[in-house]
Structure 1
Amino acid sequence: MESESEPGPISMKTKTLLSHLKSKYADKSWNETVQLVRRCMEKTKGDGRVCEPVAQCLQKINEALNVSSLTVMVSRLEMIAKQRGLGSHMSPTETVCYLTADLFYVEVVLLPGGRVEDVRVAHHGEAPESSPSLLQLLRMKKFQEFSLKLEDLASFYNIPGDSDVKIKTYASLKHLETDLFKISHLPRSLRESDLHVDLIMNGRIGNIQPGKEGTPMTVEYYISPLDVLMGLSNTGEVSGGQIALVTVGSSDASHRLQRESLISCPPQVDSLGFPVFQPLTESCSELLPATFLFKLQPPLPMLISFIDKMGRVTDGVIAEKPQQVEPLPQLLMKTSKTLNSKISWTERVQFVVPLPASEYHSYVFPGAEWGRESWKGALIHTVPFTHPGHVPALLDLLRHQSAINVLLASCFSDHSHHIDTGLLYDLRCEILPESDHCLSVTFSLDDDNHLAVLQVTVVDSHQMSCRLLMPNFVDHKLDDYISRVLMRCMSVPITMRAIRRKVTPPSLPAADPESSAAMESTDQSVPDIISTVRPSASVSCDAAEDVIMASPPPVYYLMSVGDPAADNVNTDAVANCSPCASLGVYSHWATSGLPPELL
C-alpha cells in the first residue's frame, strides 16, 4: 500500500511548483518564463526525477510556441540537442548555434526573427559543408524531422571507446572508403549494356556512392530484373536495388584496422585483376575494439551455410549470431512487402501465380522438406569485416544469396483466393530443396501420367544451370535455352511457361532455341506479370523485351581515363581487355576521371 501512495506527494509537489511559478511570474511574458525554466534546467540537480516534470513541461511549451524570434529558435535547437545527447552553445556574436558531438558538429546560422540562413555539417578534421536538407527542414519549421536527421547522424558516429579511440576508428573508416573507391575504378570488362546495372551486378564492389550530409558511403550490390523494369517504367532510371551502408561498429575483441590506404597509387593488380594490398603491419594499422560493418538495407534472409562462408572470408570475424533459424522460404515470406501477412508457413504452402492469357500456375512448398538443416537461414542486418580485401568476396556471397531469394520469391503470390475454388491450373508444380544452392521443380504437363523435373543450380549470381528431366526426352540445347531464360528473367513461373510452350508443340510453333534466344519465353508477358505482382506498376512490352530478354551484349573494356594517374595503371593482368568500341556511349566516364577521394 505504501508504494501505491508514493506518487501522491510527488504529484502534489509538482502542482505546488507549477502553481508558485504561475503566481510569481503572472505579470511576466511567456518568453521570460521559458528562459527562466531553461536556465534552471541547465543547473545540476541531485535527483533527476525532480527535473522530469519540468522537462516535460518545457518541451510542451517549446512545441506550442510559434518560433518567431531568435531566442525561441535557440531554445528549440538546444532542446533538440539535449534530446539527442548532443552538446550545444552559441557563438560569441550570438548568431550561430552549435550542436556538437565528439566527431561532428552542426552549425545553424541564424538571422533576426528566428530565421535560418544556413546549416552546415562538419565532420572530424574536415571543413563544414552546407546541408540543403537540414536547412530546408528548419526553414519549414519541421523540428521533429530535423531531430530525426540528427539522430541518424549521431548513430553513424556510434563508435565505441573514448574520444581518442573514436577519432582513430573514424580515421580508419575514411581510409577504407578511399581504398574502396580505388577498387571500384580498376579496369574491368563490361557485361551489361546498361552501365548502372553492370556496376551493381558485376562491379567488384557494386555501385559505390560517397557519403554526403552526414550519411555513410553506400554500396548497391544487387538488383532484380523486375526492379530494373519498375525503375525504367516509373522514372526512366534503374533503381530499387539492395544496398549496404559502410559504417563501423563495436566489437568484444580488438581487431587490426588500417590507419592509411593499403593500395598503392597507381594500383597494382594480381592475375585476377584484384589490387595488391599492403600487409597490415604495426606501422600501417592499429588494434581497435571495432570492426567495419555493412548495414544491409533491407536486411537479407541468408542460409546458415552462407553465413559461415562469410566468417571464413573475414578470417573468423563472425556476423551477428542468428537468434532464430527458419526455413529460407519462411523467412522470405515474413520479409516480403507484397505478400498478405495472413499467409503463414505450414506443412504445405500453396501459391497460385496468374500469368497472361488467363494462365494459372500452382506452386507448392512442402514444409517438411524445406525444414532440412541445409536450407535453414536467418535474417542478417549487419556483416562485419576488417579489411578492404574482404569486400569483393562478401559482395559475391550477398549477390549469390540474393539470386536464390529472388528465384524462390518469384513463386509467391497473393492470389490465395483462387485456391480451393475449383480452378483448373495450367501447371502444377512442387518446389523441392536439393543442396544449399540447388532446387528442383516437379511438374506434370497436359497428360498427368508422367512427371517431369527441372533441376536448377544457382552456381552464383552470374551463372545458373538448368536440366530438364522428362521420360524419353533428352535435349541439351533446350537445357541451355532454359538456363538463358531463367538467367535473364530470374522468375520460375516465366521459365516454366517457356518450358511448357517448348515441349507442347500445339501451344507454340517450333523454333530454333539458338536463334529465338529468350524472347519466346515471355511472348510479351513480362509487363502483365509485373502488373499482376504489383498492380500499380505498368511496363511497356518494348521495355520488357529490351531489358529482360535481350540478347547478351558484347563485352567491352571499361576504365576511367579522365585523370593522368590512370595512364600508369597496371592493366597487363586483366582478361578480355578489348578496346571499348562505344566509348561515346559512356562519355561521362571518360570526362569525369577519378573522384576527389583518390587524389
Structure 2
Amino acid sequence: MSVPPSPQLIPHLENRGGVSCHGVLRAISTNALMEQLRLKYQQRPWTETLKLVYFCMGNPHRKPVSNAPDGLLLSCTEKIERTLNAKSMFSVMNTLELLSRQKGLTVHVSPSGTACYITSMMFYVEIQLEKDGDVMDVKLAHFEEAPVVCDDLVQLLRMKNYDAFGKILEDLSNMYQIPGNSEMKAKGYLALQALEKDLYSMSLLDRTQDLNRVTEVLNGKVGHLVPRTGGTPMNIEFYISPYQVLEAELNHGSQVCGTKTVVTVEGMDTLHKLPLSPLIVDPQAGEDSLVFLQLTDELSMDLPALFVLKFHQPVPMSSSSIEEIQRLTGIQISGLKLAPLYELIVQSTLKEKCSEDLSTNKSCFFVSLPDCPKHCYFINKGSEKSDLAGALVSKIPFSHPKCVPGVIEILRHQVAYNTLISSCVSEKHINEDDSELLYFEVVPHKNTSFSVFFLHPVKENLACVVIDVISSREVQCHLHLNPQDPTLNSSDDFIARVVKRCMSVPVVMRALFRNAAKVKADSETQDMNMEQQPEPQSEQTTDSSSLKESLSGAGQQDWVVTDKPNNTDSTEEDFSTAKLETLGDNMEKE
C-alpha cells in the first residue's frame, strides 16, 4: 500500500470507510483505541496497517494546530506510540523472576502485584513498581537489618541494565557463601563491616580538604576509597596513568577510572581469625600513631572465611610481587598458573584494547605517534624462569586490615610497570603502509626493570635505555651508547622525568629521537662548513623483513633504520598520544 503524504492521510483513511480518525481520538481507553484501529482495517492485511502506523510514528512531532486535520492525526499517533512503547509490569516481573532464579534466589510477588521480593536466607531485595512497569524504589535488607534504599539499584533497573543488576545479586549471594548456618554467615558479614570501617578510617588519615582524587589514588594509604552503598561493594582505586588523567581533563564532565579492586569476604575450607569489630585506635590522631587493637577472642572469631581484594580483570603480576604479598598477608594465593610475565601483560593488554580476540602469540606491534615515524616494537617475552615468570591474579586474600596499605603499594608498583610494557602493545601487528619505521626491542630484566634496544639515530651501532621502576612514584633510567657514538643530548635524569610524566615507552623514545635529531643537524652543519664541496649524503635504509629476522636476542641485533632529520626542538616531552595529538603539540611548544 502506498502511503500518501501527511496532509492527505485523514481524507485517505476516512474514504476507506469504518471508524474515522476523529472517532479514534475520542477513544476513552488504550484497549478501545487499539480495537477501533483493528476494526477499521479488518478487511486489510495487518502488514499494511503497520506500514501506515510506522510512517506516522516516524514523522517528527509538531505542536498541533487548532482545528487542523494533521494536528488531530499527530495526537492520534502519539497515543499509539505510547501504547506500543509502554512497559508492561508483567514483563518486568517475568524478567526479574527469571534473572533471580538464574542466580539461585527466590522471588515473591506482593498481593497487589506491584512489589517484587528477591530473597535468600541472608538478605532480600524489595522492588516497588508502577502499574506501567516503571521502577519506583528498590530496598536492600541484610540479615536482621532494616531495609535501606539503594539508588544504584534503582538506576540500573530504570535503565533496564539487568546484566549489572544480576551481577550485584550474584555478589550479594557470594558474600554469604560461607560454610555453616545462618549465624556463621551473619558473623562473616559482621567481620566485613568491621574491615570496611577500619579501611575508611585509614582513608581519612591523610585526607585534606584540597586533596584531589588523582593525588589520593596515587598516594593515599588505601588509594581512593568508595564505601559500600546499597548493592555496590566497597572499592579502592589505587592507580591511574598520566594518559588517563589527561583524557579526563580533555573530556570535561567525565571521570576516567583507574585500576580498582573490590573489598569483600569469601568462604574458605579452613578457619581463620577475623575481627568482628574495628581495630584501629584513635584513627584521627595521625598517620604516625596508627595503632591496631590486639586480635583477642572478644574482638575476633574463627570463621571459615577470608577478606578478599577482587579485581574486575585479572592483574599480571611477577612472581616476586606475588611472594611479597604472600609474606605480608601470611596467606597463599591459590589457583595461580605461572607463565612468562611479558606474555601475560601482552595478553591482558590486547584483551583490554581490542574488541575482538587477537592472537596473543604476536610479539611485534606497530605504534603511531604524531610528528614521528611509526614505531615497531618487538616484545621479548622471556621464559618461565623464576625472576621473569608471573601469573594472572584475580583476588588477594587477607585476614587483617593492617595488610591492606602494604598490598596496595605493591599493586601500584606492579601496575605502573605493566603500564610501561603495555604502552608498546597495540592491536596493529601488521604494517599497513610503507611509511618510515623505527625499530625497538623490549627485553625484560630482573624484578621490575627492562631494556629498550634501538639503532643509534646517527651511527649504526645499537643503543639501549634501561628503565628501572623502583616504585609507582620513582623511576631510574640509564642510557647506554657505544663510546665512539655521539651523544643523544638526553641525560639519564631527563629520560626519567619523561617516563614519570607519560609512563609510555613510545613517547619516551620519541623524545630521545627528537633530541638526537638536533645533534645530528648540528653535526651535519659542522661537516658542511669543513668541506667546500660537500658530497650528497647517502640515506641509510633497511629492508624491514630482513630486520625482523635478525631480532633474535637482546644486544645481538644489527639494526639499520631510515633516519630523516627532525628539526623539532624538544626539551621536555609530554604524554600525548595519537588520540591526544592536539594537546600534545601545544604542550611541546610551551
TM-score (norm 1): 0.68
User: Aligned partners of 1:508, 1:357: CA distance in 2, in Å?
Assistant: 17
Cα distance 1:117–1:363, how it changes in 2: closer, same or farther (>3 A)?
closer
1:224 to 241, 251, 255: 241
Is 2:439 the counterpart of 1:453?
no
Identify the residue that residue 324 of structure 2 maps to in structure 1.
309
Distance in 2, Cα, partners of 1:142 & 1:424: 47
Q: Deviations over 1:352-373 (max 9, x none)?
A: 3222224122322234x45533
Match of 1:434 among 427, 441, 445: 445
CA distance in 2, matches of 1:469, 1:138: 58
Instruction: Letter of the 2:439 partner, please give it.
Output: R
Out of 171, 196, 212, the residue aligned to residue 177 of structure 1 is 196
The corresponding residue for 2:361 is: 345
- Counterpart CA distance in 1 for 2:444 and 2:207 is 35
Q: Equivalent of 2:333, from 314, 319, 322?
A: 319
Q: Deviations over 1:303-344 (max 9, x none)?
A: 1221111100102x112331x322122112222222574443
Give 1:311's aligned amino acid.
Q
CA 1:242–1:95: 2 relative to 1, 3 Å? same
What is the distance in 2 between the residues matched to 1:469 and 1:282? 59
Change (3 A) 1:474 1:251: farther
> 1:435-476 CA distances to partner (integer Å, 9 max, x unpaired)?
111111122222443222211111110101011122337999
Aligned position for 2:292: 277
Q: Which residue is 2:279 aligned to?
A: 262
Counterpart pick for 1:247 among 243, 264, 282: 264
How far apart, CA to CA, are the structure 1 residues paired with 2:132 and 2:148? 24
Which of 523, 536, 541 aligns to 2:583? It is 541
Q: Which amino acid aligns with 2:244?
A: D
Map of 1:46-445 to 2, 5 A cutoff?
80-89=99-108, 96-109=115-128, 117-135=136-154, 147=166, 149-187=168-206, 195-268=212-285, 273=288, 275-315=290-330, 317-322=331-336, 324-336=337-349, 337-338=352-353, 341-345=357-361, 349-367=363-381, 369-418=382-431, 424-425=436-437, 427-445=438-456
Which letter maps to 2:267?
A: S
Q: Is the partner of 2:353 in helix, strand or coil?
A: coil
Output the CA distance in 1 between the equivalents of 2:482 and 2:183: 70
Deviations 1:223-272 (A, max 9, x none): 111111222223444412010010011222211100111012344556xx
**Distance in 2, Cα, partners of 1:542 & 1:308:** 39
| Runs of at least 5 residues in structure 2 that lack an aligned partner in the other structure | 1-85, 524-568
Aligned residue identity for 1:294? L
Question: In the superposition, relative to structure 1, how do residues 153 and 487 fare at CA in structure 2: closer, same or farther (>3 Å)?
Answer: same
Q: Deviations over 1:119-162 (max 9, x none)?
A: 21122344322234544566677777755553343334433432
Instruction: State the Cα distance separating 1:199 from its structure 2 match.
Output: 0.7
Q: Distance in 2 between matches of 1:240 and 1:509?
A: 45
2:305 maps to a residue whose letter is: A
CA deviation vs aligned residue, 1:545-594 (integer Å, no higher than 9, x gap): 49xx99xxxxxxxxxxxxxxxxxxxxxxxxxxxxxxxxxxxxxxxxxxxx
Cα distance in 1 between the residues matched to 2:97 and 2:462: 71
What amino acid is aligned across from residue 208 of structure 1 in structure 2? L
Determine helix, strand or coil for the equivalent of 1:483. helix
What's 2:571 paired with?
Answer: 520
CA contact (8 A) 1:156 1:215 kept: no
On the 8 A contact 1:153/1:215 being kept in 2, the answer is: no
Cα root mean square deviation, aligned: 3.5
Specify whether residues 338 and 264 from structure 1 end up closer, same or farther in structure 2 by C-alpha distance, changes over 3 A only: same
Query: Which whole-Å deviations, capped at 9, do the CAs of 1:268-311 have from their partners, x for residues lacking one?
Result: 556xx361111111111111111100111222011122111110
Residue in structure 2 matched with residue 560 of structure 1 by the alignment: none
Contact map agreement 1:254 1:287 (CA 8 A) in 2: yes
Displacement of 1:414 in angstroms is 3.0
**Structure 2 CA distance for aligned equivalents of residues 188 and 76 of structure 1:** 44
CA distance in 1, matches of 2:130, 2:379: 64
Distance 1:141 1:266, change over 3 A: closer
Change (3 A) 1:235 1:508: farther
Q: Which stretch has the larger CA shift, 472-481 or 482-491? A: 472-481
CA contact 2:153–2:231 (8 Å) conserved in 1: no
Contact 2:224-2:236 at 8 Å conserved across structures: yes
| Distance change >3 Å, CA 93–CA 389, structure 1 → 2 | same
Q: What residue is the counterpart of 2:478 in the other structure?
A: 467
Q: Tell me the distance in 2 between the aligned counterparts of 1:384 and 1:240.
A: 24
String of CA shifts for 1:395-432, please: whole Å, max 9, x gaps.
Answer: 1111111011111111113333228x76543x432211
C-alpha spacing 1:310/1:544, structure 2 compared with 1 (3 Å): farther
Structure 1 CA distance, aligned partners of 2:582 and 2:106?
A: 54
In the TM superposition, what whole-angstrom CA distance separates every residue of 1:452-510 from its partner, at most 9, and x where no partner exists? 22111111101010111223379998111111110111011111222223344346899
Say which SS state the counterpart of residue 281 (structure 2) adopts: coil
Residue 515 of structure 2, aligned match among 502, 505, 521: 502
Aligned equivalents of 1:356, 1:281: Cα separation in 2: 61
Within 1, Cα distance between the matches of 2:160 and 2:384? Answer: 53
Closer, same or farther: CA 139–422 of 1 in aligned 2, 3 Å:
closer
Q: Is the Cα–Cα contact under 8 Å of residues 342 and 380 in structure 2 kept in the other structure?
A: no
Comparing 164-173 with 406-415, greater Cα deviation is found at: 406-415
Does the aligned pair in 1 maintain the 2:194–2:275 contact within 8 Å?
A: yes
Q: CA deviation at 1:82?
A: 3.9
Shift in CA distance, 360/94, structure 1 to aligned 2, threshold 3 Å: closer
Determine if contact 2:319/2:390 at 8 Å carries over to the other structure. yes
Task: State whether residues 370 and 581 of structure 2, in contact with CA within 8 Å, keep that contact through their aligned partners in structure 1.
Answer: no
Bigger RCO of structures 1 and 2 (CA < 8 A, at least 6 apart): 1
The 1:153/1:104 distance shift into structure 2, 3 A limit, reads same
| In structure 1, C-alpha distance between the alignment counterparts of 2:206 and 2:274, rounded to whole Å | 27
- Aligned residue among 492, 497, 501 for 1:488: 501
Native 8 Å contact 1:370 1:432 kept in 2: no
Q: Quick one: distance in 2 between partners of 1:341 and 1:73?
A: 34
**Alpha-carbon contact 1:495-1:521 (below 8 Å) kept:** no
Distance 2:455 2:93 in 1: 72
| TM-score, normalised by the number of residues in structure 2 | 0.69
Shift of 1:541: 1.1
Quote the sequence identity (%): 34
Q: 1:297 to 1:530 in 2, by over 3 A?
A: farther
The CA distance in 1 between the partners of 2:357 and 2:390, in whole Å, is 20
Residues 252 and 441 (structure 1), Cα distance of their counterparts in 2 relative to 1, 3 Å cut: same
Question: In structure 2, what is the Cα distance between the partners aligned to 1:405 and 1:329?
Answer: 9
Q: Would you say the 8 A contact 1:375–1:433 is kept in 2?
A: yes
Report which of the two structures shows the higher radius of gyration computed on alpha carbons.
Answer: 2
Residues 134, 509 of structure 1: CA spacing in aligned structure 2 closer, same or farther, 3 A cutoff?
Answer: farther
